Structure 1
Amino acid sequence: MVLIRLIDGLNEIVGKAVSYVAVIFAGMIIYDVVMRYGFNAPTLWAFDLTKMFFGFYFVLLGGYALRHQAHVKVDLVTENLPSRPRQIVEVLGYLIFFFPFCWVFVIKSWEFALRSYAQGETTYGAVQIPVYPVKIAMAVAACLLAIQGVSEVLKLIFKQSEQRHVG
């Protein structure tokens, strides 16, 4: 289905692009450690900036992780079920738990980001870095996670209908 490929492709691209952020913030940490302990000249910006990069990295990989089934799942209930009941329970889990969580995550993170931007919120360090980009990333991450949930539910539904036609 085109929608599934589109959503999966978007989260794949975002996931791979964001993975490079880990290299950047690792480089910043190494630079700061060398400056601090090697030259007794700590940076003013590295701590705040690495926290922000880690925030980007952490939140924006949620949809990518769901796409690759890398989230923690409680399979105790479903592991012994036959295929069709397992798929039904998984779809119900998305509808009852996942999508309401995503709805709250999208709404609250968007409000959080708008408030941060409107207030001109910055970090408290010696170098005051704007905070709103990370908070906007939270809202984007919430949307990416929610649409990946749609993709996963569609995969479960289509897998279910394929099994019904094959079996």
Structure 2
Amino acid sequence: MEEKSGSLVEWLAPLAFILCAGWLTWHLPAFTLSWFPPKDPSQYDKLSALFARIDVTDSMTGLFGGYADAVDWAALLLLPVFGIIGVRTVRRAPMEFESWKPLDRLAVFIGRLTMMLIVLLCSVMIYEVILRYVFEAPTLWANELSLWLAGFVFLCAGLYAMQQRSHIRIFLLYDMMPRWLQRVCDIISTTLIVTFAFFLVYGGYGEAFDKFYRWETFGTVFDPPIPATLKPMVLLVMVLVAFQAIVNLISDWNAEPVIHTAADDIDQDELDRLRAAVGADGTGDLDVTRGSIQSNTPGKS
């Protein structure tokens, strides 16, 4: 697959998706109050008061008789649009795994989102450090926002790692097995992953839904909805990981067996550097750090 990766649309689609998802996540209580309002009056009043406090566009009136305004609806409608564009336009980078089924494209797109979230997370931390230690004016939201973003990064990176086959695996016995026995081990490991995902969703759905429906917050001054969003996200990502494991099993079923060695941990650039340093006859003019080797041979500098 020789498709160029890194085009402009591959940057804009994930960025637009993150902006819409961030806005929609912050204003999700508007849709809960509009579509599935709590039947308990005290819980309804608590959720409506919470939304009134966090509403960014509180000057705008809700559409269709609900709490969600035009910006909220625009974010809701554009989110799947940018998601579809992102999945369809994402391209495999040269160092990424070659499997490219529809679910693989979704996992790689989520990987791109994760990469951008890391940049956003680092930007928030740098901003907080500058304000705290240079201007002595720390923020009330940077720490909680960093925790929130780090949670999403951790979860989404797990799905990307599964698609890339870069999760931790021990090949000592696996490489010694014949191919048919390797397939048996692959079936067993995939079955265990799917079983774990099933029981995790089965046991955690009630708590996750309750936290989401009540829009449970973190309990700080900034008070982000970390429990309300990360709890359901854990279940969603685990379901995607289980499906990705099944896709990996199907994709790798007829693949040739791969023998893993210590050389797998050395990239091609490092190998080229070592060859240049050693040379064809066992000596070279450069060391492994690309620095020149100073020779004591007369007439050679």
TM-score by length of 2: 0.48
Structure that is richer in helix per residue = 1
Between structure 1 and structure 2, the one with the greater Rg is 2
**Which residue identity does 1:79 align to in structure 2?**
D
Gap change, CA 1:48 and 1:145, over 3 Å in 2:
same
Question: Which stretch shows the higher mean deviation, 125-134 or 6-15?
Answer: 125-134
CA separation in 1, counterparts of 2:193 and 2:216? 30
Name 1:151's counterpart in structure 2.
Answer: 247
Name 1:63's counterpart in structure 2.
Answer: 159
CA separation in 2, counterparts of 1:84 and 1:44? 57
How many residues are matched? Answer: 156
**Partner SS for 1:61:** helix
- Does residue 103 (structure 1) correspond to residue 198 (structure 2)? The answer is yes
Name 1:30's counterpart in structure 2.
Answer: 126
Post-superposition offset of 1:158: 4.3
1:123-159 Cα distance to aligned partner (Å, 9 max, x none): 1222111121222322221121111011012123344
Among 78, 82, 91, the residue aligned to 2:187: 91
Q: How does 1:3-42 map to 2 (within 5 A)?
A: 5-42=101-138
Among 190, 207, 210, the residue aligned to 1:115: 210
CA separation in 2, counterparts of 1:108 and 1:27? 36
Work out whether residues 15 and 64 of structure 1, in 8 Å CA contact, stay in contact via their aligned partners in 2.
Answer: yes
Work out whether residues 18 and 61 of structure 1, in 8 Å CA contact, stay in contact via their aligned partners in 2.
Answer: yes
Post-superposition offset of 1:112: 3.5
CA separation in 2, counterparts of 1:79 and 1:159? 14
- Does residue 46 (structure 1) correspond to residue 107 (structure 2)? The answer is no
Name 1:137's counterpart in structure 2.
Answer: 233
Gap change, CA 1:108 and 1:34, over 3 Å in 2:
farther
**Partner SS for 2:170:** coil
Gap change, CA 1:12 and 1:109, over 3 Å in 2:
farther
**Which residue identity does 2:174 align to in structure 1?**
T
**Which residue identity does 2:218 align to in structure 1?**
T
1:99-135 Cα distance to aligned partner (Å, 9 max, x none): 1112123334543431212333111222111121222
Gap change, CA 1:153 and 1:111, over 3 Å in 2:
farther
CA separation in 2, counterparts of 1:47 and 1:109? 27
Instruction: Name structure 1 gaps, 5 residues minimum.
Output: 161-167
Name 1:163's counterpart in structure 2.
Answer: none
CA separation in 1, counterparts of 2:201 and 2:114? 20
- Does residue 127 (structure 1) correspond to residue 222 (structure 2)? The answer is yes
Name 2:47's counterpart in structure 1.
Answer: none
CA separation in 2, counterparts of 1:29 and 1:147? 34
TM-score by length of 1: 0.84
CA separation in 2, counterparts of 1:143 and 1:152? 14
Post-superposition offset of 1:86: 1.4
Name 2:176's counterpart in structure 1.
Answer: 80
Between the aligned residues of both structures, percent identity stands at 23
Post-superposition offset of 1:76: 2.9
